[in-house]
Structure 1
Amino acid sequence: MDWSILPYLLPLVTSTLVALAVAVTVARRSERIGARSLAWVMLALAFWSACYAAELVVSAPETKRVMANLAYTGIVSVPVLWVVFAIEYAIGSQHLSRRHLIILSIIPLITLALIWTEPAHGLMRRVNTLLTFRGVTIVNRSAGPWFVVHAVYSYVLILSGAVLLLRVLVRSPYLYRRQAMTLLVASLLPLLSNAVYLVMPRTIIPIDVTPISFAVTGAVIAYGLGRYGILEVVPAARAAVVEGMREGLLVMDAENHIVDMNASAAETIGRERRDCIGVPVADLVPASAELLRTRTGKQEDIELLSPHGVRRRFEVRFDALYDGRGRLTGRLALLRDVTEQRRAEQEREALLREVERRVQQLSALATELTQAEERERRRLAQMLHDHLQQLLVGAKLHAIAARDQTENPHTAVAVQQVVALVEQSLAASRALTVELSPPVLYEGTLATALAWLARWVQERHGLTVTTELDPHAEPAGDDVRILLFQSARELLFNVVKHAHAPQASLQMRLVDHSAIELTVTDEGVGFHVSPTDDALGAPSGFGLFSIRERLLLLGGRMEVASSPQQGTRVTLYAPATPSPAPRPTGEPTPEASPTRHPPGAKVSVLLVDDHRTVREGLAALLSHEEGIRVVGEATNGPMALELAKRLRPDVVVMDVTLPGMSGIETTRHLRARWPEMRVIGLSAHSQADIARAMRAAGASAYLDKGAPAEALIAAIRG
C-alpha cells in the first residue's frame, strides 16, 4: 500500500466507523418513529465511505472501478432514505406509501443501472480512465449527461428533507427546534462538502471529501440522540398524540411563560395559539399561586368562561420539568374538562346522602318496629300479670279462705274444685306471659336472659342446649338486646322444628370490645344455602330473613353456614356497649333488731304487694290462722321500708314485681337494716333466676303465688 494515501484514508475509515456506530445505536431504538429510516441512512453513508476507502487502497484499475461503482449504491440510497426519514420525523409515516417509495427509487435505480453499464454509453462518466494526483489514484469522475440528472435529483431530495426540518424549526417548541437544528446541520454538512468537491478543480481537491464529512454528521446525530432525545419524542408523534388529545396541554419555561400548547388548550382558553406563546400562564389560567409555583406535581379545579359564555369547570394539573442536572427547565399543565364529572359527582353525593338518610330512617323504623312489637308483647304480658293473674291469685286466696271456713263438706269440695280451676288458669296465664315477654329479659343481663332461655327451651321442647355466655357482652341498647334475645329464641325454635337434633349450642362473646357475637349451632339435617342470599335457603318463613334484615338496619350482620346432613351454624353480630362499672351503693346501717316476741305471741306480718286484690286475699287467708297477725300493708318499696321501721314486723311477705324499687332491692335494704326480720318472696313468676336473686338479696323463702296456701303459712310460721 502506498503510504502517501494515509492522510486521505484515515478520515474515510473514521467516517465509516462513526456512521456504523450511529446506525447500530439508532437500530436499537427501532420501535421509535423514524428510527429504521435513520439507521438505513447511516448504513448507506458507512457503505459509501467504506467503498471509497477501498477504492483508494486497491491498486488494480479494474478493482478500483468496481469499488467506485459499489460506492454508488450508498450514493443513490442516501438522498431517498434521508427524505423518507425527514417525512417520518416531521409529519409522520402515514404520509408515505409503497407507491411513493417506488417513485422515489426510480431515478436511483436507473443511475445504478447506468453506472454498471457505463462503458457502453458514457452517460454517467464522459471518460472511463484513472486519475492520479499527488500519489492518489482514483476513477475519473468527470460528469456525463445522466450524472447531472442524478445530482440534481439527489440535491432536491436532500433539500426537501431540509425544508421539512426547517418547518419543524419554525413551528415547533424549544425542544423540537433543538432536534431539528441538529438534524439540519447533520444533513447540510455532506451536502456542502459535495458541492465544494463538484465545484473545485481536481488539482485543489483530488478526492471526494463528501464521505469524510460523514464523521462529523455521525457525531452531530449522536450528540442529538443523547442531548435532545432525537427519536424519543418526535414532532410527528407530537402531532399525533399531543394535537390529538382531548385535554388541553400547556408547556411553560422556567419563568412560567407559555412556549407551546395544543389545539385543545387554545380552544379551552379561548385565544389563538400564536397570541398565547410568550404570555405568562397566570394571565390565562386562574390557578392558585401555590399550583403555579409547584416543583413537584399538584392539581386543583378552576373555572373558565367558554367562547359561548358558559362557565365550565376544569381540573388543571401542573408538573415540573427538570434537566439532567436537576435544574428546573419548565412546567407542563394539563387541562381536563370535568364539568359533567363534577356535576355527576355532586348528584352522586346527593344521592348517597339521600340513601344514607333513608337507611337511617329504615334503621329507626326497624328499631321502632322491634321496640313496638316488644312493647305490645310486654303490655299484653303486663296486663296478664298485673290484672288477670292478680285477680286469679286473689280469687284463689278468697276461695281457700272460704273453703277453710265452711263446715259443709260438699261446699268445701266444690270450692276446692274452683281453686284447682283457678290454679290451672293461673298456670296457663303465666306460661303465656313468659312466651310474650320473659321478665328475666329486663331484670338482668343478656347472658342471664339467654341462660334462662336455654333452660326454658329444654323444659318446654326437650332440646338440650349447652351455653357459653360472656356476662360482659352487653348490647348497645334495648332494641339490640330484644332483637338478639328474640333471634336466639327463633333460632332454637328452628332447631326444634327443622333440624331434628337432640341438642344445640348457644354461645355469646364480646368481639374487639365493640361487637357481640352470638352463635347457635346444631348437628341436624342442615340445608342448602343459596350463594346469592344465604337467608333464602333457610326452611323458616320469617326466621333468618327477618333476623338478617333487622340486624343490618341496626348495624349488625348474620352469617349462615349449613349443608345437608352436616348441621347448621348461624352467627349474629350486633353492636355492643362496654359493661358499665358497678356503681357504689351505700349499704344501709343496720338498726337495732326488734325485740323478739314472747313465746306464744302471734307472728306479726307486713304484706307488700301493689295489687289490692292480692293484699286483701292474703289478709283474708291469714286472718283465720292462729298465731299470725297482719300488722300492715304496703304498695311499694319505700312504703314497705317506712312501715317496717315503724311496725317492726317479724315477717315481710314481699311481692317481687313492684313499681319503682323492685321487691329484690327492697328485700336487700330490709335485711341490711334489720337482719332479724324475715322476708318471704312472693311472685306470679316461677323462674328459678328470680328465686335465686330474691334469696341472694336475703329472703328466707321464695314462693309462687300459685303455690298451696299451706306452704305460705308454713313459711310464715318459720
Structure 2
Amino acid sequence: MFAAGIWAFCTALELASADLPTQMLAITLEYPAMAVIPVAWLLFALEYIGRDDLLTPKNIGLLCIIPAVTTILVATNELHYLFYTTVTDMMFFGLSYHVVTYGPAFWIHAAYSYLLIGITLLLILQRFLFSSTVYRRQVTVILVATLIPLIMNLILVFRVGSVGLIDPTPVALLLSGALILIGMVRFQLLDITPIANEQILENMRDGVIVVDIQGRIISVNPPGARFLGIPGNKVIGLSVSENLQESALECIRVAGLAGDREERRETEQVINGLHRYFEMRCIPIRSRNTSNKGRMILVRDITEAKQTQNALSEARKKINLLSGFTRHDILNQITALLLHIDIAKESVPDPGVQEWLQKQEAAVLTIQHQIEFTRDYEELGINAPEWLSLHEIVSGIRPVLEARKISLDCTLEDIEVFSDPLMKRVFAILADNTIRHAETATLVRIRSEREGEHLNLVYEDNGKGIPAAEKTRIFDRGVGMHAGLGLFLAHEILGVTGITIHECGKPGEGACFSLQVPHGQFRIRE
C-alpha cells in the first residue's frame, strides 16, 4: 500500500504539471513503486498460502533485479531511449498530456510484471479450489483485489479509449487496498490464514506414503522416507511392493478390496540396526466418481508404546501366574472344607447343628464361586480388542439354548464388532441368565437396529422379565443369584471398548438387553 500511495501521488503530480519535463520527473519518481508492486503481490500470495519457506533473502533479491534495472533505465532514458523511444506532448480538453512510444526495455518490464501477477493469480486460484468456505471468501477478496489493478493497467498499456492517456492503476490499487481492509474486518483475512498442505506433511511426526493405482510411490514425507529407509528424493516412482514387508503389503491389498474402509496393521521394521514397531493405516483414495485412485499409508512409530505394553503384559502374566497358584491352593482348601462339612452333616443328626452346617456350606460355596469368578475377571483386558464376528459368537450359544429346549431366532446381518475377545462370554452370560431365571422361556431373539450413528444389538427372551425396580441394579456386583457376578462381568467386558448395556424389557413379557455399539466400532461385511 505504501508503494501504491507513492504511485498515486506521482500520478497526481504528473496530471497537475503543465510542462513535459515535470511530467517526466513524476514518471521517474513513480517507477520504483510501479516496478516493485508485482513483486510485492507475489510475496503476499506466497505468504498467504503458507509458502513462506520460499521467501528467502536470496529469492527476494532475484525477484527485485528486473525492477531495479527498470528503475535505472527509466531514470537514464534520455541517454539510450530503450524504455521510451519517443516522448511527445499533446493537449486533451485543454490539459497537457505526454504520449510515449514504448521501447524494448518497457516490454521486458511489462512482460515480467504480468508474469508475476499471473503467477500470483494462479497461486490464489489454486488455494480457492482447494479451500474451505471460510478461506474461499478470503481468496475471493484477494482475487478481486488483484484483478482490478491488472485490468486497469492493461487498459493503459494497450491504450484502450481515452483512458490510455491517464493512468487509472493507482486508483485501482487504492480500491484493492480498501477491499483487503474489508476482507480483514469481515472474513478475518491475514488473521486466520491457511497452511500449505506440503508444510503440514513435512512437519508431521507420522509417516505419509501415497501410492498410485499401479503401486508406485508418488508422494512421501520425511518420516515416511525414514520408514522406507530410502532418501525422499530417490523414493518417488519406486514400487511399494519392493520396499515394504509382507504384513504392510497385506494391509494395502485388503484396503484395496475394502471399499472406503481403512485397514490397520502392526509391523516391525529394522531401522539403523534397531527394531522399531509401527502401526500402519491404509486408506483408499477415491475420485469423485468413487473409482480407486490409489492408497494413502499412514505410519506411526509405536515402539515406546509397544515396549511399555510388552513390559506391562509380562508383569501381568507374572501376577496372574501368582494369583493362579493362590487361587488353586484356596480352592483345594475349600474342597477339603466342603468335604468336612459333608462328613459333619452325616455324623451329627441334630437339627440345630444341621441348620448351622447348611449355612456354613452356603457361605463356603459363595466363596468358591467368587474365587472362580476372579479367574474370568483377570482375563479382562489382557488381549487387545479385535474385530469379532457376531454370527460366530451367537452360534456358540445355540447348542446351550437348544439343550434346554429354547429356540434361537437370530436375524443379525453379517456384522463385526471391535471389542475385547471376551465378548463371546457376554452372550454366554445372557444365555445363562435366560436359562437360570426365565424358567418359562421357550424363545430367544437376537437382532440389530441402527440408532443414529450407533448400532444396537438386542437380546430378548419370552420369559417372565425383570421387575422394574431391579433394572438399574442387575449390573451391579453382588446383585442377583449365585453372587450376582454374571451380568456385572458382562458389563465390565463391554465397557473395555465403550459398549454399553441396559435392560429395556417389560415385566411379564420377557427380558430384553440392548447393547449399544459406538460409531466406528462396528462394520457390516458385504
TM range (shorter): 0.3 to 0.5
Task: Give TM-score scaled by structure 2 length.
Answer: 0.41
Compare CA radii of gyration and give the structure with the larger one. 1
Task: Give TM-score scaled by structure 1 length.
Answer: 0.31
